[in-house]
Amino acid sequence: MLRLFRQIRRRLLSGNKFSKYLLYAVGEILLVVIGILIALQLDDLNEKRNTDEQETKLLLALQVNNWNEDRQRKVQEREILNGIKN
């Protein structure tokens, strides 16, 4: 692929077609910029996915913790009520 671009570049420069070469160079720069923008977008999406996964794990841990605390509180209430009845 690079070989093809190199050949195009040489042909345009050797034939005194500077305006066409300039257009080619601008096109090549645009391709690089588009590639960088795509890479940044993918990085942002990956970061968001990781953040969402961490948030889900944290929420599940909080839910389990709340469930365990609620269960412990109910056991303690039963023990207190059984102690009062006896």
Tokens of 44: 């942002």
Q: What's the whole-model pTM score?
A: 0.57
Q: What is the CA radius of gyration of the chain?
A: 33
Tokens of 10: 């040489």
Q: Give the pLDDT confidence of 6-65 residue by residue, as tens digits.
A: 787 777 777 777 777 788 889 899 999 999 999 999 999 999 999 999 999 999 999 999
The C-alpha atoms of residue 69 and residue 61 are separated, in whole angstroms, by: 12
